[in-house]
Amino acid sequence: EVIEFLKTPEKFTRIGGRIPKGVLLVGPPGTGKTLLAKAIAGEAREPFFSISGSEFVEMFVGVGAARVRDLFEQAKSKAPCIIFIDELDALGKARGTGPMMHEEREQTLNQLLVEMDGFDPRVGVIILAATNRPEILAQALLRAGRFDRQVLVDRPDRPGLIFIFFIHATSIKLAPGVNLEQIAAMTRGMVGADLANVVNEAALLAIRRGRETVQQSDFEEAVERVIAGLEKKSRVLSQEERKRVAHHEIGHALVALSLPGADPVQKISIIPRGIAALGYTLQLPTEDRYLMTRTELENRIAVLLGGRVAEELRVAGGWRGAAEDMENATTIAKRMVKDYGMSEKLGTVALDQSTQPSFLKSNESPGAPTYSEHIAQEIDLEVRRLIEEQGNRVRDLLSSLRPVMLKGAEKLLKDEVMSGEELKALLSVPQEEPSVRH
């Protein structure tokens, strides 16, 4: 779409459509966000201006803002073109999330916002930015007319790994009989940059051994070396961990599929995505809705608890990956009790004057509570009751669906990615306990 627009802006403006100004590429490090931005500029055959957010961190006050101004001046004179801002999070951190707010960064960020608001998108300047930490970005950056489009640049799935591996492998001399597909299958969880690393490492090993071409064994050893490096960063999962993650994600998805009115399940994946999220279940719509009924909120809590409960049903003991789910579930329950007056015990009063309308973790520090110690205790009890109630509901539900859960997890372990439809299909098959022991 960006390429189309840069080539033929008239097509978009003729009927008065608004052209996207800012597109945010979100994904883990090494997945090729910068390459993608460059490829867009290349394919549109337009100039490419780039800066990195981290360049601004060490600058003197005022220098960063001036550089942003210059960059936009330059870009506007060369329009149509692309401006690319790498590591946007280094520049656009929300207030107060760092150890201290850097005055320089704040000025630079303000200048960026001014520039983004100030130009007419019809001149043909599109701003692409990349981040691997969208959650810490200042909300101001994500507002309409700024970076209001987000594109997920995720870790590659298995076919993706093979494709990328082939591309890197064309730069080296292969010994006859090397099975690239087999090697690519060993690189699960890696990103493009890791694969480039594997290929390079394999070439170095071959050279060290005095060979003219790279052999299968060189590749195998290279993969092991790169994995060992990654394991230190705890990104590649052991088999046991993968099983846990698979059950966890199937748990979320099954609850979401079974509860009426819950958002439909789009995609379930156990391709690791960094330390925080080892797998994920994508429900659409993912944006926050402002008008939610009590049932919808309860269902949300239930879906969040689904992962942990599924793990409990399979093996005893909690898992650290569920911590974030629990935190999110608690946040929802708290808002139901405190802000939406959905607790019968505490009545229909808003107990907090908070105006933040979003479930997203607040970036501002919460003010002092406006209620008494006694009410605070009541709130805690109500929140706990709500969560326990949903926990029991989910436990009953998943116990009754245990065969589907095990089958689904097995399939997910094998394929790594699953659509909501595929899981639904398993649900509609008459149930038999599978003979495989877990």
> Minimal distance in Å, beta carbon 252 to Zn ion?
6
> Minimal distance in Å, beta carbon 416 to Zn ion?
16
Compute φ and ψ for 326, nearest 5 degrees: -65, -40
> Minimal distance in Å, beta carbon 245 to Zn ion?
9
- Rank residues 240 and 433 by Cβ distance to Zn ion and give the closer one: 240
Instruction: Return the DSSP state at 83.
Output: E
User: Is 249 noted as a catalytic residue in this protein?
Assistant: yes
Rounded to whole angstroms, the Cα distance separating 337 from 343 reads 5
Compute φ and ψ for 349, nearest 5 degrees: -130, 145
Q: How many residues bind Zn ion (CB under 5 A)?
A: 2
Rounded to whole angstroms, the Cα distance separating 152 from 378 reads 41
> Minimal distance in Å, beta carbon 83 to Zn ion?
36
Rounded to whole angstroms, the Cα distance separating 397 from 44 reads 52
> Minimal distance in Å, beta carbon 297 to Zn ion?
18
Which range in 17-25, 150-158, 207-215, 325-333 contacts Zn ion by CB under 5 A? 325-333
What is the per-residue DSSP string for 199-245?
HHHHHHHHHHTT-SSB-HHHHHHHHHHHHHHHHHTT-SPPHHHHHHH
Rounded to whole angstroms, the Cα distance separating 408 from 306 reads 14
What would the two tokens of residue 402 be? 């245990």
Among positions 19-58, residues that touch Zn ion (CB under 5 A) are none
> Minimal distance in Å, beta carbon 315 to Zn ion?
16
Question: Of 89, 325, 352, 382, which one interacts with Zn ion (CB under 5 A)?
Answer: 325
Non-local (6+) Cβ contacts of 159 within 8 A are: none
391 lines the binding site for Zn ion (CB under 5 A): no
- Rank residues 307 and 391 by Cβ distance to Zn ion and give the closer one: 307
| Residue that is written with structure tokens 């591309």 in the block | 167
- Rank residues 162 and 302 by Cβ distance to Zn ion and give the closer one: 302
Please report, as a single letter, which amino acid is at residue 252: H
Rounded to whole angstroms, the Cα distance separating 87 from 103 reads 18
307 lines the binding site for Zn ion (CB under 5 A): yes
Please identify the residue of the shown chain whose CB is closest to the bound Zn ion.
307
Strand partners, 214: 174
Which range in 142-150, 290-298, 319-327, 354-362 contacts Zn ion by CB under 5 A? 319-327
- In 251-337, beta strands by DSSP E: 265-269, 280-283
Residue 30 DSSP SS3: coil
Question: Which of the residues 46, 87, 115, 249 is marked catalytic?
Answer: 249
What is the per-residue DSSP string for 349-387?
----------SSPPSSPP---SS-HHHHHHHHHHHHHHH
What would the two tokens of residue 53 be? 């957010």
Which range in 177-185, 320-328, 385-393, 409-417 contacts Zn ion by CB under 5 A? 320-328
> Minimal distance in Å, beta carbon 319 to Zn ion?
9
- Rank residues 201 and 325 by Cβ distance to Zn ion and give the closer one: 325
Strand order in the sheet with 48-52: 48-52, 81-86, 125-131, 22-26, 149-152
124 lines the binding site for Zn ion (CB under 5 A): no
C-alpha 395: how far from its chain's center? 28
Which range in 50-58, 60-68, 111-119, 301-309 contacts Zn ion by CB under 5 A? 301-309
Other CB atoms within a 10 A radius of the CB of residue 412 amount to 25
Strand partners, 419: 267
Among positions 227-286, residues that touch Zn ion (CB under 5 A) are none
Which range in 120-128, 195-203, 306-314, 368-376 contacts Zn ion by CB under 5 A? 306-314
| Residue that is written with structure tokens 């691997």 in the block | 132
Which range in 122-130, 299-307, 339-347, 354-362 contacts Zn ion by CB under 5 A? 299-307
> Minimal distance in Å, beta carbon 332 to Zn ion?
14
What would the two tokens of residue 198 be? 């594997």
Residues in touch with Zn ion (CB under 5 A):
307, 325
Q: Which amino acids are annotated catalytic?
A: 249
